[in-house]
Amino acid sequence: SQTIHQWPATLVQPVGSPLSLECTVEGTSNPNLYWYRQAAGRGLQLLFYSVGIGQISSEVPQNLSASRPQDRQFILSSKKLLLSDSGFYLCAWSDGLAGINEQFFGPGTRLTVL
């Protein structure tokens, strides 16, 4: 069966510090991968998605970037965090061949920028 991991689970960082969040998927090959942000009391905002190694599409211009160095690894980064980067970050995967975009979510990372 497939599993998706995210770490760290929680993170408190000062403004201006760098960020690296990691997501890995097990039990599947060539998944589509997604990063979402969920601000307090708000819905999900798609940040990035990837259909393959090194292929990243950005949905929202911002302070963040994403990379996919391996087939089942997706990394969310920032060089300098802003207060507005606080939120709950969710990674998800889907089977690109299935064609219905059903997504499976990781447990999330709670990021607080102080």
Partner 1 sequence: AQSVTQLGSHVSVSEGALVLLRCNYSSSVPPYLFWYVQYPNQGLQLLLKYTSAATLVKGINGFEAEFKKSETSFHLTKPSAHMSDAAEYFCAVSSGGGADGLTFGKGTHLIIQP
- For 35, the token pair is 């990063």
Q: Which of 20, 84, 96, 112 binds partner 1 (CB under 8 A)?
A: 96
The correct pick among 18, 20, 42, 63 for binding partner 1 (CB under 8 A) is 42
Query: Which member of 8, 101, 112, 114 binds partner 1 (CB under 8 A)?
Result: 101
Q: How far is CA 45 from CA 1, 35, 42, 58, 78, in A?
A: 27, 9, 9, 11, 17
Q: x/- binding map, residues 52-91, to partner 1, per CB under 8 A? A: -----x-x----------------------------x-x-
Name 91's bridge partners.
35
- Counting Cβ atoms within 10 Å, is residue 51 exposed (0-12), middle (13-18) or buried (19+)? middle
Question: In this structure, what DSSP letter does residue 100 have?
Answer: S
By DSSP bridging, strand 10-13 and strand 109-113 are parallel
Binding map of partner 1 across residues 19-38, x = CB under 8 A, - = no contact:
-------------x-x----
The yes or no reply on residue 99 touching partner 1 (CB under 8 A) is yes
Number of residues that bind partner 1 (CB under 8 A): 26
Instruction: Give the interface segment with partner 1, choosing from 14-22, 63-71, 72-80, 93-101 (CB under 8 A).
Output: 93-101
